[in-house]
């Protein structure tokens, strides 16, 4: 079977989808708007995943009107579909990738909703709602990664939505502690999410500053694992509130390193403004240490 995935190649969840399908014997072509870094490209090719990028900087194409540039990629995507001859086209994210897939007109076409694509995007304007309805209408099959995301998706379609929750590898996550770079006895409060506004890193930074002011005797430390467009702003905030020497930014890391960083924490936090599934919280539970999920 040939499967063409339309998804962000930089995403941890995309990597899991693509590699898992390839390892199960499927021929997989991953088409991404973004160009991932070298180690991510090598991860895909090393696992038999074919990767093509449309070379669009989505970090600077976040508004409705700048997203029009995506449409320039439709002819290129159509040619990839003709050349690859997929049995299925599967768009991960109902907005940008869902739109590209819808405009190509290939069937069978699957759309997976991940969260903000149905929770936040349609709330911006009637035009946004019209666009999400169009993308969902073009799909032959709709998937969602949690019940809450499925409920949001159903607001814009009458089609059946199947739940496909992100799983957790039970063999990789364990309660075995490891040596902390902060030293013995440190209370490490971690966040393993991309440094983006929706994930609440600023809340954790301010909370660390407040807690240190109240209990200066406690060896509180912050651990951020995951790159993001707001990492520099988060570093500036750490400096402003006086915790820059107590917070460690690890940047984007290889998926195989995630269990290592999970066990490095004393407390795991998921301070997302909105959360669809919360894989990080599930992983923390398996590692058997306290987790602070979103309310």
Q: Is the pLDDT of residue 276 over 70?
A: no
Residue in 135, 151, 92 with CA at minimum distance from that of residue 274? 151
**Which of 30-39, 78-87, 163-172 is least confident?**
163-172
| Cβ atoms 42, 48 nearer than 8 A | no
Q: Which residues contact 208 (CB under 8 A, 6 or more apart)?
A: 189, 220, 222, 241, 243, 246, 247
For the domain made up of 2-163, give the CATH fold: Rossmann fold (3.40.50)
In the structure, what pLDDT confidence band is assigned to residue 140 with cuts at 50, 70 and 90?
very high
Domain covering 187-292: architecture: 3-Layer(aba) Sandwich (3.40)
pLDDT cut 70: percent of the chain above it: 83
Per-residue pLDDT at 280: 67
Give 174-195 pLDDT, tens digit per residue: 666 677 778 888 999 988 888 9
List the domain boundaries for the chain.
2-163, 187-292
In the structure, what pLDDT confidence band is assigned to residue 169 with cuts at 50, 70 and 90?
low
User: Do the two domains 2-163 and 187-292 of this chain adopt the same fold?
Assistant: yes
Per-residue pLDDT at 220: 94
| Cβ atoms 125, 142 nearer than 8 A | no
Query: Looking at residue 250, what DSSP letter applies?
Result: -
Q: Is the pLDDT of residue 262 over 90?
A: no
In the structure, what pLDDT confidence band is assigned to residue 66 with cuts at 50, 70 and 90?
low
Residue 175, classed as helix, strand or coil, is coil
How many Å apart are CA 230 and CA 209, to the nearest integer?
19
Give 19-63 pLDDT, tens digit per residue: 999 999 999 999 999 888 888 899 999 999 999 998 666 555 555
Give the mean pLDDT of 235-244. Answer: 96
| pLDDT: which is higher, 185 or 288 | 185
| pLDDT: which is higher, 81 or 73 | 81
How many Å apart are CA 224 and CA 204, to the nearest integer?
10
């Amino acid at each position: 079977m040939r499967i063409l995935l339309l998804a962000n190649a930089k995403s941890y969840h995309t990597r899991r989808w693509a590699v898992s399908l390839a390892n199960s014997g499927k021929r997989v072509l991953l088409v991404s708007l973004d160009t991932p870094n070298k180690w991510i490209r090598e991860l895909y090719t090393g696992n038999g995943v074919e990767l093509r990028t449309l070379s669009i900087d989505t970090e600077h194409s976040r508004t409705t009107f700048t997203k029009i540039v995506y449409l320039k990629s439709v002819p290129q995507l159509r040619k990839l579909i003709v050349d690859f001859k997929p049995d299925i086209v599967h768009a991960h994210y109902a907005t940008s990738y869902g739109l590209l897939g819808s405009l190509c007109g290939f069937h069978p076409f699957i759309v997976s909703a991940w969260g903000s694509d149905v929770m936040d995007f349609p709330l911006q304007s009637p035009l946004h709602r019209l666009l999400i309805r169009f993308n969902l209408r073009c799909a032959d099959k709709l998937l969602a990664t949690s019940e809450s995301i499925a409920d949001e998706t159903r607001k814009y379609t009458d089609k059946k939505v199947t739940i496909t929750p992100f799983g957790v590898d039970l063999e990789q996550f364990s309660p075995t502690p490891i040596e902390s770079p902060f030293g013995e006895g440190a209370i490490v409060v971690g966040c393993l999410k991309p440094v983006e506004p929706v994930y609440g890193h600023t809340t954790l930074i301010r909370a660390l500053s407040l807690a240190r002011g109240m209990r200066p005797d406690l060896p509180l430390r912050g651990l951020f694992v995951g790159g993001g467009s707001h990492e520099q702003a988060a570093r500036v905030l750490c400096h402003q509130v006086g915790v820059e020497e107590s917070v460690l930014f690890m940047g984007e890391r290889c998926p195989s390193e995630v269990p290592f960083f999970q066990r490095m924490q004393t407390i795991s936090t998921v301070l997302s403004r909105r959360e669809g599934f919360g894989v990080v919280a599930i992983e923390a539970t398996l590692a058997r240490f306290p987790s602070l999920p979103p309310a």
